[in-house]
Amino acid sequence: MEDLSSWDYLNFKELQMANEIHDHANLTPEPGISKRLLLKQAGLHVLGISALTSGVVSLVGNGQANAQEPTQFSERTAHLLELMRKGDDAFNAHDFDAMKAVHHPDMIAYVTGNPQPLYGRDAHAAAMGQFFSIFPDVHVDNDPYPIQFGSGDWVTVVSRTTGTFAGAMTLPDGTTIAPTGAKFDVAFGQTSRWDGDVIVEISAFWDSHLQAQQLGLA
């Protein structure tokens, strides 16, 4: 496979996937709107590397992902994906003890919207606690993940997350935003590096602008 660190290659794969999804879903853009933009306006993250590598998902016109025939994973990848699923079970249940059990004490997390990484399991747990207070019904679809793959100590999952803006949001500058009661429904992905059976590094990503629009904040 070509070098996945190359942004040119990533962009090529993303556009390639956009064309495939466009043709499959029979989407028709307005004049002047690209296929890629059309898909993003429909609430779909075009994550070319994940979908094209996994081979387990088809995407339809409403932006939902449907699991199909599972890929045969290595024993290590299958094990880590199962741990990931259990970790998201704990996330969905707000079970902090179970969440901490799959995170290394000295982990680092890169999270969309955070200007700085989160250093350490306790900082990550605190951030999740704040997130739960704002979106108490937040849920990640994880059984199964529609897109999932891995290699060695790395796994990536892409799915859907939903929630309701039901609690006050405090911004870094101290500004408080009252809840709107609006709901969000966006594609969500996470790449994780593991050491044994615990996560040591997280990169979590979603379309924060789309989420803000859905919540009435943009």
The pLDDT score that the predictor gives to residue 160 is: 96
Cα 29 to the center of its chain, rounded Å: 26
Question: What digits encode the pLDDT tens for the residues 135-152?
Answer: 999 999 999 999 999 999
The pLDDT score that the predictor gives to residue 115 is: 84
The pLDDT score that the predictor gives to residue 172 is: 80
Domains and CATH numbers, the chain: 75-215 (3.10.450.50)
Q: Token pair for residue 163?
A: 């929630």
The pLDDT score that the predictor gives to residue 34 is: 47
Question: What digits encode the pLDDT tens for the residues 148-165?
Answer: 999 999 999 999 999 999
Q: Which residues of the chain fall below pLDDT 70?
A: 1-71
Beta bridge partners of 148: 157
Q: Token pair for residue 4?
A: 């996945």
> Residue 198 gets which letter from DSSP?
E
The pLDDT score that the predictor gives to residue 114 is: 84
